[in-house]
Amino acid sequence: MIGLSLAAGCAAALGGCADGGDQAASTTAETTVTVYAAASLTDSFTELGEQYEQAHPGTTVRFSFGGSSGLVSQLQEGAAADVLATADERNMTKAADAGLVDGDPETFARNVLEIVTPPDDPAGIAQPADIARSGVRLVVCAEQVPCGAATRALAGGLGVTLHPVSEENAVTDVLGKVTSGEADAGVVYVTDARGAGDAVREVPIPDDENVTNTYPIARLADAPAGDAADDFIAFVRSDDGQRVLADHGFQRAA
């Protein structure tokens, strides 16, 4: 009878019961944390965002993934966001120098390069220097993108000159050209190669020849989400966050 009495009470005073529910809903805090992140973070940050939302009811994490240089340009043009995570320190410094960053950026991961080919390896890429051979349809990142700068450093260390048929503005686009068969080889991060699974063949680069990029993260000035931006950054750098990143192939920041 208690349940029936309550139902009857609400039925008799429907307006009051409905108003109370609406008021409770209206006072529930809803927060959106907007994160601009390097393309190579797509899979790992998507998973981190899902975990963060589960642990923080009422909070939504929205991502914009792309080349680090392009993300900084968007912010310079007035795009609103709370957190920036780049694939190198150069672009984060550019953002900080432009007054876009609140506080000091913190490193949270490292990444290294790897060569990928289609599964059937049409060009016969057996070692890193093979990507410089004549006739190899090589795709790399553009120089202003962190993976592009790292690729050029790799070529310098190998003592070879690369002749790419295409230069992309995001590492995910390089991977796409390889998986679609438009390229014989591409230089990506090891995390991208791992995420592609059987869609590519991996050609590891020896540690003494490879190039390491350090990933910084920072709260942006005038972040609409306020302290929630700092909380998300803390989660990324926490042990739980680091485990997710490691699962995707990232190395822990020194």
In a domain, 10, yes or no: no
Do residues 193 and 153 share a domain?
yes
Do residues 117 and 186 share a domain?
yes
* Position 31 pLDDT exceeds 50: yes
In a domain, 22, yes or no: no
Q: What is the 3-state secondary structure (H, E, C) of the chain?
A: CHHHHHHHHHHHCHHHHHHHHHHHHHCCCCEEEEEEEEHHHHHHHHHHHHHHHHHCCCEEEEEEEECHHHHHHHHHCCCCCCEEECCCHHHHHHHHHCCCEEEEEEEEEEEEEEEEECCCCCCCCCCHHHHHCCCCCEEEECCCCHHHHHHHHHHHHHCCCCCCCEEECCHHHHHHHHHCCCCCEEEEEHHHHHHHHHHCEEECCCCCCCCEEEEEEEEECCCCCCHHHHHHHHHHHCHHHHHHHHHCCCECCC
| Cα atoms in the Cβ-side hemisphere of radius 13 Å centred on 41 | 31
Q: Which pair of structure tokens corresponds to residue 177?
A: 């050209």
Confidence of residue 29 (pLDDT cuts 50, 70, 90): low
CA atoms of 122 and 154, how far apart (whole Å): 23
pLDDT digits (tens, 9 = 90+) for 84-104: 999 999 999 999 999 999 999
Do residues 161 and 91 share a domain?
no
In a domain, 3, yes or no: no
CA atoms of 230 and 50, how far apart (whole Å): 17
Do residues 104 and 222 share a domain?
yes
Do residues 196 and 224 share a domain?
no
For residue 150, what are the contacts with CB-CB under 8 A and spacing of at least 6?
88, 113, 211, 213
In a domain, 140, yes or no: yes
Q: What is the pLDDT of residue 7?
A: 39
Q: Which pair of structure tokens corresponds to residue 83?
A: 């957190």
The CATH number of whichever domain residue 169 belongs to comes to 3.40.190.10
Q: Does 189 appear as a known binding residue?
A: yes
Do residues 132 and 199 share a domain?
yes
CA atoms of 89 and 55, how far apart (whole Å): 30
* Position 39 pLDDT exceeds 80: yes
In a domain, 75, yes or no: yes
What is the rounded average pLDDT for all residues in the chain? 91
Q: Does 171 appear as a known binding residue?
A: yes
Question: What's the structural domain count of the chain?
Answer: 2
pLDDT digits (tens, 9 = 90+) for 198-240: 999 999 999 999 999 999 999 999 999 999 999 999 999 999 9
| Domain membership of residue 56 as a residue range | 31-109+215-247
Do residues 199 and 119 share a domain?
yes
In a domain, 102, yes or no: yes
Please give the average per-residue pLDDT across 238-254, as a whole number.
Answer: 95
Q: Does 40 appear as a known binding residue?
A: yes
Q: Does 44 appear as a known binding residue?
A: no
In a domain, 72, yes or no: yes
Q: What is the pLDDT of residue 253?
A: 86
Do residues 163 and 219 share a domain?
no
Q: Which pair of structure tokens corresponds to residue 77?
A: 């043009």
Do residues 83 and 119 share a domain?
no
